Amino acid sequence: MTVDIRRGEVTAVVGGDGAGKTSLLGALAGRVPIADGTVTMPAKNDVGFQPSSSGVWRDLSVDENVEFVGSAYGMSSNVLADRRARLLGPAGLDGVGGRLGGQLSGGMRQKLGFCLAMLHQPQVLLLDEPSTGVDPVSRVELWRMVAEAAAAGTAVLMSTTYLDEAERAQRVLVLEDGGVLGLGTPDEVIASVPGSISAEPTRPGASSNRVWRRGNTFRTWDPDGPGNEDGELDLEDAVIALMLARNERLEAHGG
Q: What is the mean pLDDT of each run of 10 residues along the chain (255 residues)?
A: 88 92 91 78 90 96 98 96 95 94 96 98 96 91 96 97 94 93 95 93 82 93 88 91 92 77
Q: Cα(69)–Cα(198) distance, rounded to whole angstroms? A: 51
C-beta of residue 5 within 8 angstroms of C-beta of residue 153: no
pLDDT at residue 206, rounded to an integer:
63
pLDDT at residue 38, rounded to an integer:
76
pTM for the structure as a whole: 0.92
Q: Cα(74)–Cα(45) distance, rounded to whole angstroms? A: 10
Architecture of the domain defined by 10-183:
3-Layer(aba) Sandwich (3.40)
The 10 Å CB-count burial string (b at 16+, else e) for 48-70 is bbbbbebbbbeeebbeebbbebb
Domain borders along the chain are: 10-183, 185-252
H or E element in which residue 217 lies:
strand 217-222
pLDDT at residue 9, rounded to an integer:
97
Specify the length of the chain in residues: 255
